[in-house]
Amino acid sequence: MAPIGQAAEVYVPRSLQLWRAFINWMGFYFQILLQILRDTPCVPHLLSFVGPSSPSFRPLPVVELPLNDLSSLAQVENGVINGHRHMEKLTVVLDLDETLVCAYETCSLPAIVRTQATEAGLKWFEIECVSSDKETDGKPKVNHVTVFERPGLREFLKRVYEFADLVLFTAGVEDYARPLVDRIDVENLFQLRLYRPSTVSTECREHVKDLSCLSKDLCRTVIVDNNPFSFLLQPLNGIPCVPFSAGQPYDDQLLEVLLPHLKQLSLQKDVRPVLYERFHMPEWFQMHGFPVSVLTA
């Protein structure tokens, strides 16, 4: 018998000890997993660089071109449509975040995400950008951001540039977006760059991209954006694309889906009937409670 005041030893079978150790290890593993899921927000949400995320859309199907269309596309790249030289190119307006790239605050990005993306072949880089927040000494806070490029991005820009005028239109602030675009557009393929101040507010949404700032005639203008609310004012000119994240290293939307679709649109004198038949965006907006007056403003 153990002396009074001295704790008696309790025998615990080894199998029970191993089981408890396993349970503790699994609990620790799931805590780490939950922490990763909670602490990997996208930069637009952390730093308020861009507007709210968009609802999901089904991917565009891969466009299979008939043989007789291939020669037509070659003519388009040479500035010829229907046998006549056409001086005005198609204007392709491209969104930035979750369309061409995805960005994360570096300090909140788990190393495993970067490692897995790199091993899968995703290209990435880091930039510094100024936040609207202030340091304790009153100086602007500098945020370090890790940016992942959507697969095929550089080639996509070059090939679209051959038959269209490229415009970058982002709801992101310029202090964030400008250094980012400088890295992905080293050849200055974008004819114009538009940032948050170029967006407008409507009765339904803020940071809407009004394409009328580019031209009064939008028959040959198309906008590609993962957030359909961005082209709320011109629903017939929009292509809602699938959002991109670092967890999609084998995404093929740019080269296999969007590029052929844009080439086909470049054959059209007016892209709006084709886009309406494909997406029926006015009806989609009305289903989500947007009045017709907003869509036709």
In contact, 215 and 161? CB cutoff 8 Å: no
In contact, 122 and 148? CB cutoff 8 Å: yes
Residue 17 lies in a domain: no
Indicate which CATH number applies to the domain containing 65.
3.40.50.1000
170 residue type, one letter:
T
Residue 172 lies in a domain: yes
Domain that holds residue 167: 42-295
Asked whether the CA dihedral 63, 67, 69, 75 is positive or negative, the reply is: positive
Residue 142 lies in a domain: yes
In contact, 199 and 171? CB cutoff 8 Å: yes
**What is the value of pTM for the model shown?**
0.74
User: Which pLDDT belongs to residue 133?
Assistant: 74
User: Which pLDDT belongs to residue 296?
Assistant: 57
Domain count within the chain:
1
User: Which pLDDT belongs to residue 76?
Assistant: 52
Q: What is the pLDDT along the chain (297 residues), one digit of tens a residue?
A: 444 444 444 444 555 555 555 555 555 444 434 444 444 444 443 333 444 444 444 444 444 444 444 444 555 555 555 554 554 899 999 999 999 999 999 999 998 989 999 999 999 999 998 777 777 777 888 889 999 999 999 999 999 999 999 999 999 999 999 999 999 999 999 999 999 999 999 888 899 999 999 999 999 999 999 999 999 999 999 999 999 999 899 999 999 999 999 999 999 999 999 999 999 999 999 898 887 655 555
Please tell me the chain's helix, strand, coil percentages from 3-state DSSP, rounded to the nearest 5. Answer: 40, 20, 40
- The b-or-e profile of 222-239 (16+ CB within 10 A means b, else e) is bbbbbbbbbbbbbbbbbb
Residue 224 lies in a domain: yes
User: Which pLDDT belongs to residue 69?
Assistant: 47
Residue 12 lies in a domain: no
Residue 69 lies in a domain: yes
Annotated active-site residue 95? The verdict is yes
CB-based burial of residue 44 (10 Å sphere; 0-12 exposed, 13-18 middle, 19+ buried)? Answer: buried
User: Which pLDDT belongs to residue 283?
Assistant: 92
User: Which pLDDT belongs to residue 22?
Assistant: 58
> Tokens representing 4?
């009074």
> Tokens representing 209?
């991209």
CB-based burial of residue 258 (10 Å sphere; 0-12 exposed, 13-18 middle, 19+ buried)? Answer: buried
Residue 30 lies in a domain: no
In contact, 104 and 119? CB cutoff 8 Å: no
Annotated active-site residue 217? The verdict is no
> Tokens representing 2?
């153990």
Distance CA(122)–CA(115), nearest Å, equals 10
Residue 28 lies in a domain: no
Catalytic residue among 39, 95, 175, 270: 95
Distance CA(35)–CA(118), nearest Å, equals 22
